[in-house]
Structure 1
Amino acid sequence: MSAGGRDGQALFRFPYGARNDAALGAIEALKLRSMMWNVDSLDWSDPIPKSIAARVLGELGKQQRGIVLFHDIHARTVEALPLVLDQLKAEGYKFAAWKDGRIVAVDAPAVEAAPDLAGANLYRDSVALVIGIDQYKSWPRLQHAVRDAQAIQETLRTQFGFRPENITTLTDGDATRANILRALNAMARKGGDGRLKRDDRVFVFFAGHGSTRKLPSGRDVGYIIPVDAGTDDLQTDAIAMPQLQELSEALPAKHAFFVIDACYSGLGLTRGGAAGSSANFVRDNARRLGRQMMTAGGADQQVADDGPGGHSVFTWTLLQALSGKADLNGDGLITATELAAYVAPAVSAIAHQTPAFGSLPGSEGGEFIFELASAQEQALSGDSNQLDAKASALAKQADDARNAQLQPVAQALRDHQVHRRIAEGARDAQRCGTVEDLGGRAVLQQLAAPAPISARVAAQRANDRGLQLYKERRYDEAEAAFTEALKLQPKFALAANNLGFIYYKRDKPAEAARWYRKAIEMDGSRALAHLNLGDALLRAGDEAGAQAAYRAFIELSPQHARAAGLKAWIEHPDSAPKPEPPR
């Protein structure tokens, strides 16, 4: 060693860790110090990098400290080491080195850093494949699959920042087996040409037929059915779930989420994301590979293709969830687990099918995330749209089904006699949802802990919730939501207007006018608040007050569709038709 040019470090590792008193005496005479390890990676015998990393992390998790033995002569070790370092850094471990005769803390070894993910930077880019098939050649035709696909495409583009050029849509005759596989393989290859990178996400949606084939061994294999598939040879004509799994593992992106509006069985899904309890969920999640899937139902179930709005029940509920209802912990993010925890009980309550959810083999606990954009400011007025009675009833039924899962937990939290430790466990349970896997087993899915938010943000979310409840004709709940928004932000003019409109819809024009006036006091530039005040006063029989409110409205919004008729009545009250406020 001296002849080879010792670098001055006084540490010596015995080959294989084989040391005895005589050997220790020999190195001490050379002024060396024996250094051993307490975690053996076994990288010399394990050919799989992920397995090596899992072993090391498991041992360190038990001991909470350690010196780890690796062999840099193995390529698999080089692949495993970044996985270990990323996770240790995410869990807050400190690294140390031998320097000047002692062990000192150092910065973590340099590895490819995950971006500082916040706000709109959760992902570098977003790529989607959206498939919908109605016009099957050999299978029964469907009614709403293409419309489902188009709605999902629009939602990805307008609500979640997917660029149109990054969304590939295949419908009916274009959704052949060859085209679907070509599109999936193209995404897997994009890592080399600069388009799909490690910090991207991939979303795949399929609406069409699914089927299950039982193998001679008794095991089920699930398939999605392309438009050109026959009914006799699924293995040749359809796309098997193991094939989708293989393609998902080949994707360069860190998170991929497959949503299949079809019923089948035959793919073992594991429990969902494991990072949900971390206070630094978003940052930790950025370091974890995620491969997740949600399906509309199992092998013996029929997809309900006759839901509200010209959609299947599953996709309609999915769209409701993505509008914000699936943000179960109120942090402004919808994880795949939260999505499933809302969709599964909701669909089960209104259709004879039970959605399944889980992580695909190879996933490392990462969660696909949808970030809710700030809702466009919306002041309720007579022009505001609402769902029809059937859709409103189904929306409430879906919400009630989800709330029923949380009711026992909520009751425990209300019980002041419950021991603090039990209450803490209940709070943890409230962040969980039970969803079936494809084998029909109920699996508890943990949700991310909510992050602290400001009163302003909380008020905006309460107002947004009130708007959704108004749309569903749930006026009592909408009133409570707008009231909550005003308690959080007493000068929230928009919420005051919206609360006034709820009273107006409930035929309480005087109370409505009171809140409209409050909104105008807070912000007199809100044209619709003046229009709403005029309508409320006219319904209450105060024509002079209504005309004054209408004048202010016309001044602020002279091009509004109602402005000309209102102006005519104000100027010629005896001859012009009196306005008929909307009901």
Structure 2
Amino acid sequence: MAAPFLSTTPHADSCRPSLPYGARNEGALSTIEALKLRSMMWNVDSLDWSDPIPKSIAARVLDDLQRRQRGIVLFHDIHARTVQALPLVLDQLVADGYQFASWKDGKLIAPAAKPAAEASPALAGAALYRDSHALIIGIDQYQRWPRLAHAARDARAMREALEKNFGFRSENISLLLDGEATRANILRALNGLVSERDSKKVRRDDRVFVFFAGHGSTRRLPSGREIGYVIPVDAGLDDLQTDAIAMPQLQEVGEALPAKHALFIIDACYSGLGLTRGAAAGGNGNFIKDNARRIGRQMMTAGGADQQVADDGPGGHSVFTWTLLQALAGKADLNGDGLITATELAAYVAPAVSAIAHQTPAFGSLPGSEGGEFVFELAANEQALSGDSRQLDAAASQLAKRIDEASAIKPEAAPNGLNSPNSPAAASAVQLTIKGLDGKDVALATPTVRVDPGARVAAQRANDRGLQLFKERRYDEAEAAFTEALKLQPRFALAANNLGFVYFKRGKPQEAARWYQKAIEMDGSRALAWLNLGDASLVAGDETQAMAAYKAFVELAPQHGRVAELKAWIAEPDAAHRPKPPM
């Protein structure tokens, strides 16, 4: 496990060699460098100066370190609460396998490396890619081709997923919708990804993601070979060669990209790529290191030339893009390692879409690929379930369950209908056959899990699965997932709250209240756990406990939308006339 360096300082303005309150500028940095010194900054701020609760301070630091996997942590030893919080942090980090660096003779001294057999797995972190770039295109309002209903919405949802879940910076995402998506603009944006003059230049250690939602078409040459096209908004009906963008042009962009990995996803039907080298094989124990050395150019398409893309999926999306978004939410992490490779994405999406729509997604590698894999790293889901938590409607929930049943991992092989690091399916590669980009069958092997992620990471993944299952209204399976998380990490306050809310949704308010109380004992700063406790207590008929819980919630979250109604409820002295607060 990477070694954090824990810094305690008596005053925020005495941190050295950085400047007061962590402020730095070019002049100060130049002076420091001239003196042959180094400016060292923290990357995990405990915020102990603003938080009066030791358990809350500890939980914040542990959660931040869990996301980063290493760091310099800032504490201030002038606060008694910091002195109380620090042992909680240290004990948990030691239990999780962390080691601690020290500062000696002007150098940061890390502990001796463990033997290879004992070393912890290399996790993705920010080291996977230097930067991320995307071109997202969605066209509904065609000038001459039939209009579509959901392509622009699909494009917006994909941009949101990249920004919110996978660390793509908004300034590195180009979005072309409807009238903006002319042939000239699309080609200009594609060529900008390979331009040496672009200020947002793509570099060797970057990744590039291209998504197109709109019409596709196929042209058969006199030789019998087929060429696929994506259709810009201004394309005519009769001259694809002049008005559309041919697959070989996308291939040329892929080969010209200096990026380490590129993934093209086309929500349109066409065929005729013909130059694919085949799909990537499963990974191995050194996947992260090996993958960093290999160029990857991959593509997934929604269907073949003679097929109609289903434009009537849940949530106003096409079936393909909706399934893709579900996959990126975590379902395509088929081996439970916290990473979704392009191969895993195809292994989940292709059979699922084929099972629910009359289209056959295809996947493969483009010319220039050396077997590298485009990788999405899943962030920990910190959602605390409450009455505001969104769920799929009944029809979408049923469709999600059908998709799981049709995916590469079968429910009988993976507990809860989703893969788990402890499931039999995670112990060996999953073999399946899908369509390649040339229309021929391609065998895929999803990578195996070869390392133990540790109890804390495994608990987080179980909690994440529970959140997805709750969203799909699969309460029995969600309960099992949250219970698994708590078995792995007994003091996991977030999972305790979420388990309580599942019980509440299933009409068991007393059991729900018991788990909310456990969550509060673990971390009293969790405002939503107090709100949930109030709601469950009220339903269970315990107005005294509800009153105390609501008061604590109002104090912790004064800006929440329910505060006004709760204050009115609290202020009513006569319990007989006290209205029930909305839930």
Q: Fold match, TM over 0.5?
A: yes
Q: Is the 8 A contact 1:478 1:502 kept in 2?
A: yes
Q: What is the aligned partner in structure 1 of residue 453 from structure 2?
A: 453
CA distance in 2, matches of 1:424, 1:458: 15
CA displacement at 1:128 relative to structure 2: 1.2
- Say if 1:198 and 1:248 are closer, same or farther in 2 by CA, change over 3 A: same
Q: What is the aligned partner in structure 2 of residue 273 from structure 1?
A: 280
1:573 aligns with 2:574: yes
1:498 aligns with 2:503: no
Q: What is the aligned partner in structure 2 of residue 142 from structure 1?
A: 148
Q: Is the 8 A contact 1:409 1:427 kept in 2?
A: no
Q: Is the 8 A contact 1:272 1:446 kept in 2?
A: no
SS at match of 1:391: helix
1:389 aligns with 2:385: no
Please tell me the root mean square deviation across aligned C-alpha atoms, in Å: 2.4
CA displacement at 1:452 relative to structure 2: 2.9
Q: Is the 8 A contact 1:298 1:438 kept in 2?
A: no
Per-residue displacement from partner, 1:472-507 (whole Å, max 9, x unpaired)? 111111101100000000111111111111011001
Per-residue displacement from partner, 1:363-408 (whole Å, max 9, x unpaired)? 1100011112232x22211111112222222211111211565757
Amino acid at match of 2:310: A
CA distance in 1, matches of 2:413, 2:180: 48
1:444 aligns with 2:435: no
Q: Is the 8 A contact 2:307 2:359 kept in 1?
A: yes
Q: Is the 8 A contact 1:191 1:197 kept in 2?
A: no
- Say if 1:403 and 1:487 are closer, same or farther in 2 by CA, change over 3 A: farther
Amino acid at match of 2:155: A
Q: Percent identity?
A: 72
Amino acid at match of 2:440: R
Amino acid at match of 1:175: A
1:124 aligns with 2:130: yes
Q: What is the aligned partner in structure 1 of residue 487 from structure 2?
A: 487
- Say if 1:191 and 1:329 are closer, same or farther in 2 by CA, change over 3 A: farther
Q: Is the 8 A contact 1:145 1:312 kept in 2?
A: yes
Larger Rg: 1
Moved more, 143-152 or 481-490: 143-152
SS at match of 1:155: helix
Q: Give the number of the structure with larger relative contact order, counting CA–CA contacts within 8 Å between residues 6 or more apart.
A: 2
Amino acid at match of 1:446: A
Amino acid at match of 1:438: L
CA displacement at 1:143 relative to structure 2: 0.9
Q: What is the aligned partner in structure 2 of residue 168 from structure 1?
A: 174
CA distance in 2, matches of 1:553, 1:188: 52
SS at match of 1:120: helix
Q: Is the 8 A contact 1:117 1:286 kept in 2?
A: no
CA distance in 2, matches of 1:191, 1:330: 41
Q: What is the aligned partner in structure 1 of residue 48 from structure 2?
A: none
Amino acid at match of 1:561: G
Per-residue displacement from partner, 1:47-67 (whole Å, max 9, x unpaired)? xxxxxxxxxxxxxxxxxxxxx
CA displacement at 1:543 relative to structure 2: 2.3
Equivalent residue for 2:265, pick from 246, 259, 266: 259
Task: Give 1:362-381 correspondences, 5 Å limit.
Answer: 362-375=368-381, 377-381=382-386
Q: What is the aligned partner in structure 1 of residue 101 from structure 2?
A: none
Q: Which runs of 5+ in 1 are unaligned?
A: 1-115, 411-422
Q: What is the aligned partner in structure 1 of residue 545 from structure 2?
A: 545
CA displacement at 1:144 relative to structure 2: 1.0
CA distance in 1, matches of 2:187, 2:441: 32
Q: What is the aligned partner in structure 1 of residue 341 from structure 2?
A: 335
1:154 aligns with 2:160: yes
- Say if 1:409 and 1:433 are closer, same or farther in 2 by CA, change over 3 A: farther
Task: Give 1:461-472 correspondences, 5 Å limit.
Answer: 461-472=461-472
CA distance in 2, matches of 1:425, 1:205: 30
CA displacement at 1:435 relative to structure 2: 2.3
1:525 aligns with 2:517: no
CA distance in 1, matches of 2:183, 2:556: 57
1:401 aligns with 2:406: yes
Q: Which runs of 5+ in 2 are unaligned?
A: 1-121, 416-422
SS at match of 1:494: helix
CA displacement at 1:433 relative to structure 2: 4.1
CA displacement at 1:566 relative to structure 2: 2.9
CA distance in 2, matches of 1:516, 1:373: 25
CA distance in 2, matches of 1:469, 1:194: 39
CA distance in 2, matches of 1:554, 1:244: 55
SS at match of 2:217: strand
Per-residue displacement from partner, 1:284-323 (whole Å, max 9, x unpaired)? 1011111100000011110111111111111111111111
Runs of 4+ in 1 over 4 A off after TM superposition: 191-194, 403-410, 423-427
